[in-house]
A and B are shown apart, each in its own frame.
Chain A
Amino acid sequence: MVVGIVGYGAHIPRRRIKVEEIAKVWGADAPSYKRGLELLQKSVPALDEDTITLSVEAARNAVARSGIDPKDIGAVYVGSESHPYAVKPSGVTVAEAIGANPDCHCADFEFACKAGSEGMFVAYGLVKAGLIKYGMGIGADTSQGAPGDALEYSTAAGAAAFIMGADEDRVIATVDETFSFMTDTPDFWRREHMYYPAHGGRFTGEPAYFRTVTGAARGILEKANLKPKDFKYAVFHQPNGKFPKRAAKILGFSFEQIDVGRLVPWLGNTYSGSSPMGLTAILDVANPGDRILMCSYGSGAGSDAFVFTVRDRVREVRDLAPRTRCLLDENVTFVEYGEYAKMRRKIRLAEK
């Protein structure tokens, strides 16, 4: 049985803020942030955009590319660390908006930046088990960094949605292998009722991100009996521009292999949407037969890795919805820090 992606879609808010604009407010040295983090700008959600709205738009793009009846989607999983409600699922609103309910299993996942790949993994597993015909996994976030913190330069908003299915004639990329790597590594967290997350500074690097990402990537390469040279593309979680480049180098992947899916310098870190959005950008240009490695990362910490092989149908469906690079580069508006602070609800208003 062939199981894989039958539809995919992304969505990105139109507003952006430049690194210089944030650095100016906090007296920071913009060139050193740009050089150190390899970030130029990030997306900014409007007041009326949140994880649910971004998920719905990405899900609609995935449905458009799949060509399926949304009623056949048996599961909708939304992975995010910024669900609008503490108690009330995001998935049901997405399912209702795309017309997949009520005969549909919904759940929200949380695992820092890894929640999107969790939804993809579970949807894939249920399809492979024969429990559902199609399953949707979404990674979406409107992530927040504390004002002035290093995270503020990267925390961004975006979403990617994938529909998994087993239709021989609909699959656009087969899932050939999966592997997950998990340890208890407290590099980043947000306690209950806290508005902004806290992190372990440099501890987020070597013992957290790099150990976990390389552990998952090496694990899946060994399990699938593949080497980096067997892949046309690879996408690793992108908290900044530097980390995925270094992870690729450690593992033996070239910059050319990660370049297409490396959106972070212009997009920022979309947390649960990060590596899934990179995968959408790759599927936008990949050719049949190309092999893709995707490796997410979520603080706390864990990585889900997938090996995909692209099939012919990708060419037929990729232009049925906006390509990710178009969403990233076109119709963009740059905002100043004041508007950004309003949009991100960083300003405390008078109570009425």
Chain B
Amino acid sequence: MPTARSWRAYPQTYRLEAARCSKCGKAFFPPRLVCNKCNGRQFEHFDMKRTGKVVTHTIIRTPSDEFSGQAPFALGIIQMDDGPRLTSQIVDVPLEDVRIGMPVKLEFRRVSSEGEAGAIQYGHKAVPARD
């Protein structure tokens, strides 16, 4: 991801900043301008708790060049405890042990880099919640 583009997304990639509709309370990640439930336009921004559960997942064996060194890896949709869902790699767990409903925590990790000399992009990846 180009450096400028990733920089604009830091509130979401670094802090999981979401937005809650001031009118109906629905939470969005990433934030949006208009609530799709009540058409409200006022939002309160907040950092999501970094806990959730795996809704569904797949195994990526042939990724794009950006992620080629990481294959095979698990990619999943995570239902965050704060409401929104997001897509995340699921790491630090054998691929065969990834399960729907598995409690996870989002940890700060390297996501990609622009080669050996380029900028490093950071974000969050899901890891199994500690027992």
Contact = CB atoms under 8 A, between A and B. Distances in A.
A254 interface: no
A71 to B, nearest CB: 12
Interface string A41-66: 00000111110110011001000000
A56 to B, nearest CB: 4
A197 interface: no
Contacts of A330: 130-131
B110 interface: yes
Contacts of A60: 108
B69 interface: yes
A14 interface: yes
A97 B110 contact: no
Contacts of B69: 47, 349
Nearest to A95: B14
Contacts of B127: 14
A84 interface: yes
Interface in A64-110: 84-85, 93, 96-99
Interface string B51-95: 000000000000001000110000000000000000000011000
A49 B70 CA distance: 13
A57 B120 contact: no
A48 B110 contact: yes
Contact of A53 (B10, B15, B65, B109): B109
Interface residues of B, number: 21
A99 B47 contact: yes
Contacts of A98: 15
B29 interface: no
A37 B70 CA distance: 34
A56 B50 CA distance: 13
Contacts of B102: none
A96 B14 contact: yes
Contacts of A56: 108
B10 A96 contact: yes
Nearest to A349: B69
Given A84-B120, A97-B14, A47 B131 contact: no
A56 B91 CA distance: 17
B14 A57 contact: no
Interface string A321-352: 01000100011010000000000000001001
B126 to A, nearest CB: 12
Contacts of B107: 53, 57
B128 interface: yes
A322 B10 CA distance: 26
A52 B131 CA distance: 25
A194 B43 CA distance: 50
A60 B50 CA distance: 11
B37 to A, nearest CB: 28
B20 interface: no
A48 B109 contact: yes
A98 to B, nearest CB: 8
Interface string A299-327: 00000000000000000000000100010
Contact of A14 (B65, B92, B122): B92
B130 A53 contact: no
Contacts of A47: 69-70, 110
A53 B122 contact: yes
B109 A97 contact: no
Interface string B116-131: 0000101001011011
A60 B48 CA distance: 13
B93 to A, nearest CB: 9
Contacts of B47: 99
A142 to B, nearest CB: 11
Interface string A12-31: 00110000000000000000
Contacts of B122: 52-53, 93, 97
Contact of A352 (B10, B65, B120): B65
B108 A46 contact: no
A325 B86 CA distance: 32
19 contacts: A14-B92, A46-B109, A47-B110, A48-B109, A50-B120, A52-B108, A53-B122, A60-B108, A84-B120, A85-B120, A93-B122, A96-B14, A97-B14, A97-B108, A98-B15, A322-B130, A326-B130, A331-B131, A333-B92
Interface of A: 14-15, 46-50, 52-53, 56-57, 60, 84-85, 93, 96-99, 322, 326, 330-331, 333, 349, 352
